[in-house]
Structures are given as C-alpha cells and as structure tokens.
Amino acid sequence: MEELQTLKNGADVLFLTLGAVMVLAMHAGFAFLEVGTVRTKNQVNALSKILVDVAIAIMAYFFIGYFLSYGISFYKPVPELNIASGYELVKFFFLVTFAAAIPAIVSGGVAERIKFNAHLIATFFLAALLYPFFEGITWNSNYGFQGFLEKTFGFGFHDFAGSVVVHAFGGFVGLAAILVLGPRMGKYMKDGKVNFIPVSNIPFLALGSWILCIGWFGFNVMSAQAIEGISGLVAMNSLFAMAAGIFTSLIIGKNDPGFIHNGALAGLVAICAGSDVVHPISAMIIGGVAGILFVKFFILCQNKWKIDDVLGVWPLHGICGAFGGIAAGVFGLEALGGAGGVSLMSQLFGTILGVIIAFVGGYILYKALDAIIGIRVSEDEEYAGLDISVHNIQAYPEESKL
C-alpha cells in the first residue's frame, strides 16, 4: 500500500508537471501570436515583453502572489520542501503559469506603443497583487466567497480552468490598459477615418495560435490537479469547442486566416469554465458562439468603438471568457445533459465580480503608472518602432543592414 502511495504521488507530480510545462509553452504561443500580428518594427519588442513577463511574474508570484492567494510559502530547507515528491512545488509551477498569462494577454492589446519598463512594472503588480486576489476568492475556499455563494444560491462559482479567473480577468485588465494608453498613432484620424494597419506575418500568427491550442490541453486537463481527477470529458470538450470556434469564425469571418486562428482560441477560452460539467454537444455550441462573438466584437472595437486593441484581447479573452463563465451555469445544468452542481446566479455573480475587479483594478494600476512614470513611448519612438528604440535592433538585422 505504501508502494501504491509512492506511485500515486509520482503520478500526480508528473501530471501537474506536464500541465505546467504545457502552459509554460503557451507563452511561446502568446509571443508568436503577437509577433505575427504587430508590424515588423515591433516584433522584437513583442518577443521580449512576453519572455520577460514570464520571468517577472514567476518572481512576483513566488515572493508575494501565491502567498496571497493560497497562504503557502516556501521558506524551508529542501528536505522539508520536497516531501511527497514535491507535489506542492509543481502545484506552484502549474499555477504561476496561469498568473503569467495575465500580462501575456494584456501585452497583445497594448502592443506597439507601451513603454517596455511600464509594462514590466505592471506585470509585477498584476502577478503579485491583482490576479492573486481574485484567484484566491475563487479557488481558495478559505476566503469565504464560495461559502457565501453556496449558502445564497446553492452552489459556488464554478470556473474549472479559468474562463473568468484567467481569461476574462486578463481581457478586462487589457481593456483598461488600452483605454488609458489610447490608440496607435495614425489609427484613427481626426476626420473620423479609420486606417487599416496591416499585420506582418500570418505564418507566425498561425504558429502562435497552434502552440496555444496544443498547450491549452494542459491548461484544461491538468486543472484537475491530480491524476485521480483527470477527466476525458474535459479533453473532449476542449477539442469540440476549439473545432466549433474555428468553424463559426470561418463562416462569419469570410475565410480570414486571422479570424480562424483566433476563432480556435475563442472556443477554448469559453470552454475553460464548464469543460468538466457540460456535454460535448454543448461544448460545440459554446465554442461556436465564442467564435462568432470574437469576430463581431473585434470588428466593433476596431472600426466602430475605436478601441485599438491590437490582437483583440478584450474580445478574445474578455468577452469570450465572460461568456464562458456564464455559459457554464446554463449548459452545466442536468436538464441540458450536463453534470449539474452549478448555479446560473453564482456564475453571473462570479463573472461580473471578476470583470469589475479586473477592469477597475487595471484602470487604477495603469492610470497610476501613467501619472508616475508615463506608460506611452514618445511619438518618435512609436514611429521608429519599439524594436529599434527600446532594443536597439530590428527583427531581421541582416536585412536591415543591407
């Protein structure tokens, strides 16, 4: 029996390690999605922001954030730290890759004009304070929020893999940052004209999307956090939401490659919350609606509302994430073939609360940073591109030299 326990410990640590590594890989996906979407003069900056984000988020979450959300610290010698094959350590590893997703999501919205240092400082506060606060009240029952919802509405706020905790949260912080920052130079003219700023590289955009799709199965499946809780349903629902997101964005988006490669992600964002409780056919519906939502809101933002969200992170993560949080409260019901155990009221409550904390907290953070150090590069720097003005190099230095 002891031998079985050892094997079980090992299997759990392997399970979470694989999940953590897959979500870490998603950051390469964020990087290439941004590289492909921004103009060539900002590709190096996109790569650098995402990589350094990861580093800063790890430190901020280790020293402050994780303690805030789960009350666990790691200040003990190695033999005590690594008991039960070090499960507590890989749990941190898994969860820090989620925390690091917040600045990675924001990064795509504020691309091409935010100051590098301002972005990195914001990353610190997002991973150390803002994200852990909402993560804690949702995923750590000690905070009392889930108990309150259970008493009031029968069930707590169900967000299995973070449609709201990660995606809607990141998307609404991104929206706040974009509003504080303003649109890229030359995007919206004084006479009301909207200029089209072309993306640079569809293959890199597609590569980013593929990496994110693949890593997403670690994000969702390993959110069970122990091999005992693994669920084939979560895997299948993720696949189906992805497929449906591709399909509807293809139709609504008129074969546009940017829309279909983001449509896959839209489906995946929306299914996170309910992937463990809805039927695969419901997952198709959720993913399909998300694909439509993304395309419609992206076009509205860019052309009508004049919100210059470069990668469409608010439509993708914000809108589809919030939709996914609420949808889990509908399609998760037993009446619709789901597993039950969810309450629509709790889903609405949790989703709206998450969105408000993200937007208000994000707005205050970026406003404060703007007042203290300024968050926007100068017009000259923006015109020259952040690659040359921040990193002193271009994405294809040999070509530039010729």
Amino acid at 72: I
Q: How many helices (H) and strands (E) does the chain have?
A: 20, 0
Looking at the Cβ atoms of 117 and 152, the one nearer to a second copy is: 117
Residues 300-319, interacting with a second copy (CB under 8 A) = none
Q: Which of 178, 176, 30, 177 is nearest to 101 (CA)?
A: 30
Question: Which range, of 25-33, 131-139, 183-191, 362-370, touches a second copy by CB under 8 A?
Answer: 25-33
CB 258 within 8 A of CB 209: no
CB 28 within 8 A of CB 13: no
Looking at the Cβ atoms of 86 and 182, the one nearer to a second copy is: 86
Question: Which range, of 152-160, 187-195, 220-228, 358-366, touches a second copy by CB under 8 A?
Answer: 220-228
Query: Least distance to a second copy from the beta carbon of 96, Å?
Result: 8
Name, in order, each residue with C-beta under 8 angstroms of 363's C-beta and a sequence gap of 6 or more.
176, 179, 180
Q: Is residue 240 involved in binding a second copy (CB under 8 A)?
A: yes
Q: Is residue 379 involved in binding a second copy (CB under 8 A)?
A: no
Number of residues that bind a second copy (CB under 8 A): 117
Among 175, 243, 265, 311, binds a second copy (CB under 8 A): 243
Name, in order, each residue with C-beta under 8 angstroms of 97's C-beta and a sequence gap of 6 or more.
20, 23, 24, 26, 27
Among 64, 68, 116, 148, binds a second copy (CB under 8 A): 116
Name, in order, each residue with C-beta under 8 angstroms of 339's C-beta and a sequence gap of 6 or more.
276, 277, 278, 332
Q: Is residue 30 involved in binding a second copy (CB under 8 A)?
A: no
Q: Is residue 13 involved in binding a second copy (CB under 8 A)?
A: yes
Among 182, 185, 225, 231, binds a second copy (CB under 8 A): 231
Q: Is residue 373 involved in binding a second copy (CB under 8 A)?
A: no
Query: Least distance to a second copy from the beta carbon of 392, Å?
Result: 7
CA dihedral 165, 167, 173, 174 (to 10 degrees): 170
Among 193, 255, 371, 380, binds a second copy (CB under 8 A): 255
Q: Is residue 264 involved in binding a second copy (CB under 8 A)?
A: yes
Question: Which range, of 10-18, 147-155, 170-178, 295-303, touches a second copy by CB under 8 A?
Answer: 10-18
Task: Report the DSSP beta bridge partners of residue 306.
Answer: none
Looking at the Cβ atoms of 371 and 380, the one nearer to a second copy is: 380
Question: Which range, of 144-152, 312-320, 366-374, 385-393, touches a second copy by CB under 8 A?
Answer: 385-393
Q: Is residue 397 involved in binding a second copy (CB under 8 A)?
A: yes
Q: Is residue 24 involved in binding a second copy (CB under 8 A)?
A: yes
CB 188 within 8 A of CB 194: yes
Q: In this structure, what are the phi and psi dihedrals at residue 332, rounded to the nearest 5 degrees?
A: -80, -10
Looking at the Cβ atoms of 47 and 166, the one nearer to a second copy is: 47
Among 33, 66, 69, 96, binds a second copy (CB under 8 A): 96
Q: Is residue 184 involved in binding a second copy (CB under 8 A)?
A: no
Q: In this structure, what are the phi and psi dihedrals at residue 114, rounded to the nearest 5 degrees?
A: -85, 145
Taking the C-alpha atoms of residue 354 and residue 358, their distance in angstroms, rounded to an integer, is: 6
Q: Is residue 256 involved in binding a second copy (CB under 8 A)?
A: yes
158 by DSSP, 3-state: which? coil
The angle formed by the CA atoms of residues 320, 172 and 356, to the nearest 5 degrees, is 105
Among 235, 299, 348, 368, binds a second copy (CB under 8 A): 235
Helix ranges (DSSP H) in 62-168: 66-70, 78-81, 87-99, 101-109, 116-125, 131-139, 145-153
